Structure 1
Amino acid sequence: MNQLIRGGAIVVAILGTNGFAAAQRTGSAQPELTANQQQTVSQGLATSPSQPTPSGEQAQVGTHVPDSMSPQAMPNNVTDQVPETKNLLFVKLPDRILLIDPDNKLVTQIVMDDNSSTTGSNTGGSSTNTSDRPSR
């Protein structure tokens, strides 16, 4: 009876450890950026060139970066303002920015690019509309 209990305890310990390690590998250790941090990342990467969106592949959080994309190191101007991005890579697409875990090449977060030239509403709230200003 003692061996059965000990064997069960070992199995529980092993399964618990594997679950913890799997949670770390899926990028759960990467913090979710706030809306302000996302806006700062978008603005900080405004001058970075966009890569074309690959046809047939839609990157999503938790998926591997398609081979056709080239992740880049986060520039210092962004990591200085948003330290949470220091250990991340990014891929800038025309309408969004993929934040990537460099260890496993998984997309950890998708930031909508407020600076993209697409039409539609700007939900960032930081754009300046000069038409509302009085004329001089």
Structure 2
Amino acid sequence: MKIKLLLSLFVSTLCAQQISINRIDLMPNTPTPYEMRDWKKVAMGYDSLVFDLSRTGLHLPLIHLNYNTVNYPEHNSFVLHTVVGTPDKDAAEAINMIPAVVGASLVGIDKRVQNGNNWVLMCEEFFNKRPGENVYLNNFV
């Protein structure tokens, strides 16, 4: 039965035809001029802005170290605000912080030794190691 269903879906997909829409056919397949953004440069710029503990200015720095960790008191963590300008200095979420570390790592920045900080290890604070849980959470627990 499953094989017949899969086969019929496969055959119907092969037989499907694209419907031509005149207005759409007038549009170019690629925009002109086409300029691909240098995403590596963007990621590196973001990292240099966000992970600069000494940056000054309105709502800066965007990050600070957390010395009162909950899950792993043997090492520090960090706080990167999800919303710039938030009045709560300890408001942070893993959904913002972990991708910042991963994204920088993907473009070649070694976040384990950047400016004397191990940002990768500090992300561990979001791992809830309470018995029976063992899961990454969005907030410190």
Shared fold by TM > 0.5? Answer: no
Higher relative contact order (CA 8 A, sep 6+): 1
> Which structure's CA Rg is the greater one?
2
TM-score, length-scaled by structure 1: 0.25
TM-score, length-scaled by structure 2: 0.24
Higher strand share: 1
